[in-house]
């Protein structure tokens, strides 16, 4: 059964902005809303001008040809105007009901129409030659000939547009062996995977201005987050909901350029589809998954690991700090308990073996940061000394005898 909370989080993932509470540079939500209203008003003006221009051209054309057209009554003029307005209304409705246009689709339609018209002209010229050879020049034959040309042109345009739209993702032009590939200008965008979104530090990096590259979240990553949010496992469900919330926060962050794309990529898993998308479109992957980075490097795909950045900076959790953690299971060693932070960081707690299922206040003793992730060591206050600290190194008897021989006066 689908979790309604995860569905609500999916519905909340939409372009938005919110007011920044710090810094000199602010982009309030009112400003974003005003820009959206201005854009809608400009689009409305353009549509009205299009309709007025269409009607004006029709009226002026009829007026200029009125001397040559017999029986040009007001009813005829009104009929032409109504027909023109109807055509313009159909065009405007088609434009209004397709707000999310993609440049590749528009170019595909244009290219398909051009190819269809070229084919129609070629076949029309062939039909004219056949008509002249068969002496089909009477009025009845010319009517059928013209109708055939129109039908053939419409059919060819439809087939060309349909073919280009269905093959636009792998469409290539070979003249000879020359492939026109997509070129990315400026800063190369970053593809976010599931682990980077759940981690949550991407939003913080963008908030302080450390991310100036566009961020792309593929639709299949959102689908994976929704599957996690609908999982029967509590830990997976928590991670999925956190990931959906983080996507909404990043969309509301005015310092991040985040977009959700729906590419047509074939792959057996999300990681394989990410690598293939990054390879074909010359993108970079932003992740916290160490194994994904290793596989992507094999395919010559650039990968940025957030943990590598954190490894060069000061740890977010310092020794002697306290935190509230829920002990979920026992650890590998006796008297240890295992808990997790919201971002999935493992916390090994000494003295928490008998506190499974409880939330306890612990004191951080040490942190370990690697490319594979971060691990925090802590202990329950009052349970004994810090067992995670490195024990002092004791000298062997041979080393002590060597020291005695080198310093006889100190040992005499």
pLDDT in tens, 39-80: 788 888 888 888 888 888 888 877 776 655 555 677 777 888
**Res 100: pLDDT:** 65
215-218 sheet: strands from edge to edge: 258-261, 215-218, 190-192, 284-287, 303-305
> For residue 42, what pLDDT is reported?
81
Residues 6 or more apart in contact with residue 299 via CB below 8 angstroms: 275, 279
Using H for helix, E for strand and C for coil, what is the string for 272-297?
HHHHHHHHHHCCEEEECCHHHHHHHH
408 within domain boundaries: no
What is the number of structural domains in the chain? 4
Asked if pLDDT for residue 27 goes beyond 60, the answer is: no
| Residue 411 or 303, more confident | 303
Answer for the pair 299, 320: CB distance below 8 angstroms, yes or no: no
**314 vs 206: which has the higher pLDDT:** 206
CATH classification of the domain holding 256: 3.40.50.1010
Cα 222 to Cα 246: distance, rounded to the nearest angstrom: 11
Residue, of 400 and 185, whose pLDDT is higher = 185
How many H helices and E strands in the chain?
Answer: 14, 11
Both 265 and 253 in a single domain?
yes
Scanning the structure block, which residue is given the tokens 């800063």? 187
Task: Give the mean pLDDT of 332-357.
Answer: 87
Buried b (16+ CB within 10 A) or exposed e, 51-83: beebbeebeeeeeeeeeeeeeeeeeeeeebeee
Side-chain half-sphere of 221: how many Cα atoms within 13 Å? 30
Integer Cα distance of 19 and 32 in angstroms: 9
Q: Convert the pLDDT of each residue in 162-188 to its tens digit.
A: 887 777 655 544 434 344 445 555 678
Q: To the nearest whole number, what is the mean pLDDT of the chain? A: 77
Instruction: For residues 339 and 304, state if they share a domain.
Output: no
* Domain that includes residue 71, residue range: 1-99
CA dist 109 to 113, 116, 147, Å? Answer: 6, 10, 24
Q: Do residues 234 and 187 make contact, with C-beta atoms less than 8 angstroms apart?
A: no
Q: Is residue 402 part of a domain?
A: no
Examine residue 406 and state whether it is found in any structural domain, yes or no: no
Dihedral sign, Cα of residue 53, residue 57, residue 58, residue 63: positive
What pLDDT sits at residue 88? 83
pLDDT of residue 18: 41
Higher pLDDT, 295 or 319: 295
Residue range 226-235: average pLDDT?
90
Q: How confident is the model at residue 337 (pLDDT cuts 50, 70, 90)?
A: very high
Residue 64: inside a domain, yes or no? Answer: yes
Rounded-to-integer distance, Cα 364 and Cα 313, Å: 18
Residue 174 lies in a domain: yes
Q: Is the dihedral of CA 267, 269, 271, 274 positive or negative?
A: positive
Q: Whole-model pTM?
A: 0.43
The residue to which tokens 């609908």 are assigned:
230
């Amino acid at each position: 059964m689908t979790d309604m909370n995860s569905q609500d989080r999916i519905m909340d993932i939409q372009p938005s902005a919110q007011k920044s509470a710090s810094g000199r540079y602010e982009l309030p939500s009112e400003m974003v809303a005003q820009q959206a209203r201005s854009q809608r008003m400009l689009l409305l003006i353009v549509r009205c001008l299009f309709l007025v221009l269409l009607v004006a051209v029709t009226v002026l054309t009829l007026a200029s040809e009125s001397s040559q057209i017999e029986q040009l009554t007001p009813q005829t003029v009104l009929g032409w105007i109504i027909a023109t307005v109807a055509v313009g209304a159909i065009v405007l409705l088609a434009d209004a009901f397709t707000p999310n246009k993609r440049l590749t689709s528009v170019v595909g339609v244009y290219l398909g129409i051009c190819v269809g018209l070229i084919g129609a002209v070629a076949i029309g010229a062939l039909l004219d030659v056949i008509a002249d050879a068969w002496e089909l020049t009477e009025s009845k034959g010319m009517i059928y000939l013209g109708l055939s040309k129109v039908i053939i042109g419409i059919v060819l345009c439809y087939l060309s547009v349909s073919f280009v739209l269905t093959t636009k993702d792998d469409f290539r032009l070979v003249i000879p062996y020359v492939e026109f590939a997509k070129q990315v200008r400026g800063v190369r965008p970053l593809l976010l995977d599931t682990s980077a979104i759940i981690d949550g530090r991407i939003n913080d990096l963008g908030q302080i201005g450390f991310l100036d590259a566009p961020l792309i979240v593929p639709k299949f990553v959102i689908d994976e987050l929704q599957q996690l949010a609908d999982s029967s496992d509590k830990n997976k469900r928590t991670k999925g909901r956190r990931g959906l919330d983080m996507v909404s926060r990043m969309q509301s962050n005015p310092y991040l350029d985040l977009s959700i794309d729906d590419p047509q990529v074939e792959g057996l898993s999300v990681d394989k589809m990410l690598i293939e998308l990054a390879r074909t479109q010359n993108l970079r992957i932003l992740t916290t998954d160490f194994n994904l980075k290793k596989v992507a490097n094999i395919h010559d795909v650039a990968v940025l690991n957030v943990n590598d950045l954190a490894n060069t900076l000061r740890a977010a959790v310092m020794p002697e700090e306290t935190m509230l953690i829920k002990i979920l299971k026992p650890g590998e060693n006796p008297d240890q308990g295992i808990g997790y932070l919201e971002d999935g960081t493992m916390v090994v707690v000494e003295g928490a073996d008998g506190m499974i299922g409880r939330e306890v206040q612990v004191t951080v003793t040490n942190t370990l940061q690697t490319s594979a992730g971060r691990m925090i060591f802590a202990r329950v206050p009052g349970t004994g000394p810090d067992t995670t600290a490195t024990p002092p190194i004791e000298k062997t008897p041979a080393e002590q005898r060597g020291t005695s021989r080198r310093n006889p006066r100190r040992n005499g």
